[in-house]
Amino acid sequence: MRKTMSDMPIEEFRKSGHQLIDWIADYLNDIEKYPPLSQVNPGDILKRIPESPPQKGEDIENVLKDVD
């Protein structure tokens, strides 16, 4: 039985997947509180993205905080 998904252990992958689904469910449950139109100007998000990817990935909690 495989114990990892490349560099991520299967159990960590499973836990992260559950956290992502919970985040999506919460978003959809509260969708009426979000504005229907973007609140940022074109290009604002692109300016915040680093030119090269990180050497090591972030945990799902930090990724979801960035999305919020």
Whole-Å CA distances, 19 to 23, 34, 35, 55, 61:
6, 20, 24, 23, 8
For the chain, the domains span 8-67
Which CATH number, 1.20.1340.10, 3.40.1190.20, 3.40.50.720, 3.50.50.60, labels domain 8-67? Answer: 1.20.1340.10
The values of phi and psi at residue 27, to 5°, are: -60, -50
Predicted pLDDT at 24: 97
pLDDT by position in tens, the chain (length 68): 566 667 788 899 999 999 999 999 999 999 999 999 999 999 999 998 889 988 888 889 998 998 88
Q: Using the structure block, give the residue that is written with the tokens 């915040």.
A: 48
Structure tokens at 27: 């978003």
pLDDT at 35: 92
* Residue 3 pLDDT: 64
